[in-house]
């Protein structure tokens, strides 16, 4: 019994001691401002001095293509720093760098530093609380951060940074735009394109963590933390299709190189919906590197004189008003325009009264003799358009229909920046030249929008690229893009009649002006354009190549589903409308990818051209030439071995260069003999590459592809020889 009472007394005494300690802690905290357990002075907590508030960063919304392939996403990088002032973790273990030498030896290699360099940062200011490690300690990858953290070195800590990454690099760059960290707002902010315009949707709302802590920033044991969760930004889904976009990107890049053009741009769009599937312009830039040459979006903010792609709208206006007779004939070649008593007339010569100018057909005014107006559109005759305009007194009618088709006012597009273009339509020759697309300017989206009426039974739809905006948590739809019908500028009957002519433009093998664009899988309808480029003074540039070549096409011709606009500005050669391989690769790849066909079956013996792909070339030096040729052939490249050695000595294009399978890879193997290749069918680029590679000079005449060479294939050649080739 006594033993039991003694036990109860001990328990009671212990309880009293604990109670006294708790009371003392309360007194110390409330009176003295000292936390007994940690020894920390907390008298200033009420003023917020030791209240810590850490930001919980929201994720910026992702941008996806229509198949949920990521176009833009957030990523994390890390800055490393070291705590050198003595402090302890809650478990009393060191939370600072204890052993400078060991820490430097372990961590320095991950920062590409020597041990001595790392130590110099640690010891530069002994009184500092923490130190950083310059540029080599910033923007570390997740993998590097994890490897350093796994070393478990006391005092080594990391600060997470948010960044924006674009997995595809160069990908509709002017349209997508870029976002980057903004110090003023301490967040990622869109700077251009969709990233900028939809910043309020993409940007989330940061949360925060608030807690009581020691002067070292560690949360006090037993205290509560307040957490306000971050709200991530909305995700944006585009109508773009990554596969089609890559066909377009690759093709336009190759166009720029092959034709040595100043610029090239294009858009691929669904005819009936207005959904844009591909959108690109070159020169472009890598969204990650931001190696920007120009901020101008060639499809949206670039007004250009379209040339003959405007001719169908004159025909449409005449058909729709019932004044069109396609079988009416005219004398093509030259058309001397006069103005007599306020009316346009055709004169027999320049010297007659009222003469104001002469229009000629593109074949230097030779024309094709007597032709019908229908044939004039198919051949792309300027004089046929002028004849129709003058004979049917279409000055006011044509201008009214241009307005109906939406020209000269900005397209209401999902991204700002669409320009209106303009038309000079006051004086006589201004009206005349407008019939074949000179003296007026449009942009790509205006042309696409207007052509939907021609391709879509008279119904005009608006282009769009934002498909949906979605909540990233539950995938609920915040915004839904949809097809917008803008009206019926022409009747269905007019559209059907015009489509028959536009199909002939491509499919007429005898004189269709777009016949070189024909592809084997499906019939197309469309119209080509070649426009002189006006200089700053308004006069037209006279140097060779100062032209804009373009085509608008749709397939299948009997019921178009997809359309493409493709433009090349100021190429060094004038064969864009005949050297159409690149365009055909873009559009054929798209057609096959979308599984589009018509009722026409492709003949079994039709030669199907290879579709270009892009590869990064390896370094083939010192490798067996036969193995290299086999490797390149499997990837789809053409190869040409120069020399009679067994191993590759050098190559062109160079190692690490990105090349398309349309290019020839030259492999030099040394030895004492260089044999003349068979250059027939080579492009100018191939010939110039051979010259550059071998230092054997080449002289040429003509444009297009090689049809003749002065040295027979297989003959030995050297630097003292000169190769002469003829292009057609």
pLDDT by residue (tens digit) across 253-272?
999 999 999 999 999 999 99
Distance CA 67, CA 60 (A): 20
| Residue predicted with more confidence, 423 or 663 | 423
Give the Cα separation of 527 and 663 in Å (integer).
28
Percent of the chain at pLDDT above 70?
A: 87
State the Cα–Cα distance between residues 607 and 435, nearest whole angstrom.
38
Q: Which of the listed CATH numbers 2.40.170.20, 3.50.30.30, 3.40.50.1820, 3.40.710.10 matches domain 247-310+404-413+440-463+485-490+502-593?
A: 3.40.710.10
Of 538 and 62, the one with more pLDDT: 62
Bridge partners of 423, per DSSP, are 440
Least confident stretch, 7-21, 205-219, 436-450, 691-705:
7-21
Distance between CA atoms of residues 267 and 248, nearest Å: 8
Q: Are 166 and 159 in contact (CB under 8 A)?
A: no
CATH 3.30.10.20 given to domain 614-727: yes
Average pLDDT over every residue of 84-100: 90
Average pLDDT over residues 103-114: 93
Q: What is the pLDDT of residue 36?
A: 52
CA distances from 6 to 2, 13, 16, 17, 536 (A): 6, 10, 15, 17, 109
Q: How many Cα atoms within 13 Å fall on the side-chain side of residue 507?
A: 18
Look at 138-142, 356-360, 428-432, 628-632 and tell me which has the smallest mean pLDDT.
138-142
Pinpoint the residues of the chain covered by CATH 3.90.1310.10. Answer: 53-238
Q: What confidence category does residue 21 fall into, taking pLDDT thresholds of 50, 70 and 90?
A: low
Q: What is the pLDDT of residues 202-257, one digit of tens each?
A: 998 878 778 777 766 666 776 777 888 888 999 999 999 999 999 999 999 999 99
Is a pLDDT exceeding 70 seen at residue 129?
Answer: yes
User: Other CB atoms closer than 10 Å to residue 210's CB: what's the count?
Assistant: 14
51's CB contacts (< 8 A; 6+ apart) are: 45, 210, 211, 212, 213
Does the pLDDT of residue 28 top 60, yes or no? no
Question: Which residues have a Cβ under 8 Å from the Cβ of 111 and sit 6 or more positions away?
Answer: 80, 118, 133, 136, 137, 140
Give mean pLDDT, residues 659-670: 77
308 an active-site residue? Answer: yes
Count CB-CB contacts under 10 A for residue 335. 25
* 53-238 carries CATH number 3.90.1310.10: yes
- 44-48, 659-663, 699-703: least confident range: 44-48
Question: Structure tokens of 564?
Answer: 């493409």
Residue where the block lists tokens 């009722």 = 599
Q: Where in the chain is the domain with CATH 3.40.710.10?
A: 247-310+404-413+440-463+485-490+502-593
Bigger pLDDT: 503 vs 3: 503
Q: Taking CA 151 as the corner, what is the angle to CA 147 and CA 156, rounded to the nearest 5 degrees?
A: 95
Minimum mean pLDDT among 268-272, 449-453, 587-591: which range? 587-591
Give 607's pLDDT tier (boundaries 50, 70, 90): very low
What does the pLDDT read at residue 606? Answer: 45
Q: In terms of residues, how long is the chain?
A: 728
pTM of the model: 0.74
pLDDT value, residue 16: 65
pLDDT score of 644: 81
**pLDDT recorded at residue 608:** 42
The residue written with tokens 């190869």 in the block is: 639
Q: Where in the chain is the domain with CATH 3.30.10.20?
A: 614-727
Which is the catalytic residue, given 57, 173, 284, 308? 308
Contact 661, 703 (CB under 8 A): no
SS3 state of residue 476: coil
């Amino acid at each position: 019994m006594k033993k039991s009472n003694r036990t109860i007394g001990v328990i009671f005494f212990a309880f009293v001691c604990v109670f006294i300690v708790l009371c003392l802690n309360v007194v110390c905290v409330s009176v003295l401002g000292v936390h007994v357990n940690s020894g920390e002075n907390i008298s200033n907590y009420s003023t917020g001095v030791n209240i810590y508030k850490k930001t919980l960063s929201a994720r910026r919304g992702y941008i996806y293509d229509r198949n949920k392939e990521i176009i833009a996403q957030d990523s994390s990088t890390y800055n490393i720093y070291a705590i050198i002032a003595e402090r302890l973790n809650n478990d009393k273990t060191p939370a600072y760098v204890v052993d400078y030498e060991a820490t430097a030896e372990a961590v320095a290699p991950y920062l590409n530093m020597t041990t001595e360099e790392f130590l110099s940062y640690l010891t530069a200011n002994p009184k500092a609380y923490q130190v950083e490690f310059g540029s080599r300690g910033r923007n570390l990858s997740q993998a590097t951060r994890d490897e350093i953290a796994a070393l478990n070195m006391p005092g080594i800590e990391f600060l997470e940074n948010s960044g924006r990454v674009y997995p595809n690099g160069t990908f509709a760059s002017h349209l997508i735009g870029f976002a980057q960290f903004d110090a003023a707002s301490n967040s990622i902010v869109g700077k251009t394109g969709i990233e900028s315009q939809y910043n309020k949707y993409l940007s989330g709302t940061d949360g925060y963590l608030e807690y009581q802590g020691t002067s070292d920033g560690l949360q006090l044991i037993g205290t509560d933390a307040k957490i306000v969760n971050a709200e991530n930004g909305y995700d944006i889904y585009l109508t773009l299709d990554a596969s089609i976009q890559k066909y377009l990107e690759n093709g336009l890049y190759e166009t720029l190189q092959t034709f040595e053009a100043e610029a090239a741009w294009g858009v691929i769009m669904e005819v009936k919906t207005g959904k844009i599937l591909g959108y690109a312009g070159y020169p472009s830039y890598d969204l990650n590197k931001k190696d920007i040459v120009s901020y101008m979006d060639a499809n949206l903010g670039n007004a250009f004189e379209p040339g003959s792609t405007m001719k169908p709208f004159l025909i449409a206006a005449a058909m729709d008003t019932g004044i069109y007779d396609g079988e009416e004939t005219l004398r093509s070649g030259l058309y001397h325009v006069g103005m007599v008593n306020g009316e346009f007339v055709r004169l027999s010569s320049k010297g007659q009264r009222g003469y104001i100018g002469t229009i000629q057909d593109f074949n230097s005014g030779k024309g094709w003799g007597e032709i019908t107006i229908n044939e004039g559109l198919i051949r792309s005759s300027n004089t046929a358009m002028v004849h129709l305009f003058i004979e049917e007194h279409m000055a006011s009618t044509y201008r009214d229909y241009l307005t109906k088709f939406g020209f000269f006012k900005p397209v209401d597009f999902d991204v700002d920046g669409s320009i209106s273009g303009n038309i000079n339509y006051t004086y006589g020759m201004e009206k005349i030249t407008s019939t074949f697309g000179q003296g007026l300017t449009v942009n790509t989206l205006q042309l696409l929008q207007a052509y939907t009426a021609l391709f879509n039974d008279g119904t005009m739809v608006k282009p769009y690229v934002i498909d949906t905006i979605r909540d990233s948590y539950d995938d609920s739809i915040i915004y839904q893009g949809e097809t917008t019908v803008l009206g019926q500028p022409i009747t269905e009957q007019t559209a059907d009649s015009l489509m028959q002519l536009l199909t002939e433009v491509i499919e007429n093998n005898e004189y269709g002006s777009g016949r070189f664009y024909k592809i084997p899988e499906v019939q197309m309808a469309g119209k080509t354009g070649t426009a002189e480029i006006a200089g700053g003074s308004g006069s037209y540039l006279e140097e060779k190549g100062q032209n804009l070549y373009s085509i608008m096409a749709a397939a299948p011709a009997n019921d178009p589903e997809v359309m493409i606009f493709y433009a090349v500005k100021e190429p060094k050669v004038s064969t864009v409308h005949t050297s159409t391989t690149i365009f055909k690769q873009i559009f054929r790849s798209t057609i096959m990818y979308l599984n589009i066909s018509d009722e026409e079956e492709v003949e079994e013996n039709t030669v199907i051209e290879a579709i270009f792909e892009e590869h990064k070339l390896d370094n083939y030096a010192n490798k067996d030439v036969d193995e290299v040729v086999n490797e390149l052939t499997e990837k789809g490249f053409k190869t040409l071995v120069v020399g009679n050695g067994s191993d590759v000595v050098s190559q062109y294009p160079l190692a690490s260069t990105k090349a398309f399978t349309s290019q020839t890879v030259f492999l030099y193997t040394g030895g004492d003999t260089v044999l003349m290749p068979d250059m027939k069918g080579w492009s100018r680029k191939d010939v110039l590459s051979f010259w550059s590679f071998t230092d054997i000079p080449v002289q040429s005449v003509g444009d297009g592809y090689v049809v003749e060479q002065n040295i027979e294939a297989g003959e030995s050649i050297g630097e003292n020889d000169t190769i002469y080739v003829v292009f057609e």
